[in-house]
Amino acid sequence: MMHALYKKTRIPNLVYGGGVALNSALNGKIIRQTPFKDVFIFPAAGDDGGAVGSALYVYHHILGNKKRYPLENVFLGQQYDNHTGNRMSDNKLLDFVSDQLIAGKVVGWFEGRSEFGPRALGHRSIIADPKKAEMRTIVNTKIKFREEFRPFAPVVLAEHTKRYFPDCNKNLSPFMLGTYKASAQGKKISRATTHVDNTSRIQTVEKHYSGKYRKLIETFYRKTKRQILLNTSFNLKGEPIVETPEDALKTFYKSGLDILVLGNYIVVK
């Protein structure tokens, strides 16, 4: 269908949506196997994203507004207070959490507004060090309670992406919407996020990323010389991604998570 569409239009740009557009393996094949050079998928590609499309249609075509806004993030959820208890500075928090990740701990990461759409992109995430393949088993059995074959996502500093995932598409990767082959070096430092066919559903984090998530990866990189962490959604099997601090605490105590980060606060067992 994609080849037929290109043959008919000869336009190298593709925009598509619907639930099927969340199939990251398919999206990777579109990048590698079709003539389309530039692909865009709204991160909430299902019915929820259709509501945004309707709003944009009214804004531009009914109301006649010309100004356009680039999509840089989907952190559109509710904001929660970060003003009670003993607050850690950003530097102390990042230093502590990076050391815990290096020590093999698994961290629940809760920061700022929640993500719009089905992917956890660093505001409601579970994070771990992906170098050892057994981390996949640890997260699956102690926290996610799901099948062993289901892979996790590597989150990588955007400027280092091509070294580890050469065919990565810059439009899809910030929103974890494509699956790409890992290079030998990528597989070496991120075994827990590489699937049996040597592919990974990656998330890239640009320098303008808002919040502490990118800074955590940078701190981890300074200490280990590795630019990749494991990221999966902050939820248990059969439950939605956590929204409130109360949701995060319930999931923390019902699972094998070692540490919970709530804004600038740390909860440990």
User: Rounded mean pLDDT of 196-214?
Assistant: 93
Where does the pLDDT of residue 83 fall: very low under 50, low under 70, confident under 90, or very high at 90 and above? Answer: low
Q: Report the percent of the chain where pLDDT is more than 90.
A: 84
Residue 55 has pLDDT above 90, yes or no: yes
Mean predicted lDDT score pLDDT of the chain: 93
Q: What is d(CA 260, CA 108) in angstroms, rounded to the nearest whole number? A: 5
Question: What's at 202, amino acid-wise?
Answer: I
Q: What is the pTM of this model?
A: 0.86
At 99-152, the pLDDT tens digits run 999 999 999 999 999 999 999 999 999 999 999 999 999 998 888 877 766 779
Residues constituting the chain = 269
Helix axes 213-224, 90-102, angle to 10 degrees: 50
Where does the pLDDT of residue 78 fall: very low under 50, low under 70, confident under 90, or very high at 90 and above? Answer: confident
| pLDDT for position 85 | 60
Residue 79 has pLDDT above 90, yes or no: no
| pLDDT for position 84 | 59
**Domains of the chain, each with CATH number or no CATH:** 2-62 (no CATH), 90-268 (3.90.870.20)
Where does the pLDDT of residue 210 fall: very low under 50, low under 70, confident under 90, or very high at 90 and above? Answer: confident
Q: If you search the block for the tokens 């009670």, which residue do you land on? A: 84
Residue 60 has pLDDT above 90, yes or no: yes
Q: What is d(CA 169, CA 28) in angstroms, rounded to the nearest whole number? A: 8
Specify the range with the lowest mean pLDDT, choosing from 14-28, 68-82, 229-243: 68-82
- Residues contacting residue 7 through CB under 8 Å, at least 6 positions apart: none
* Host H or E run for residue 128: strand 124-128
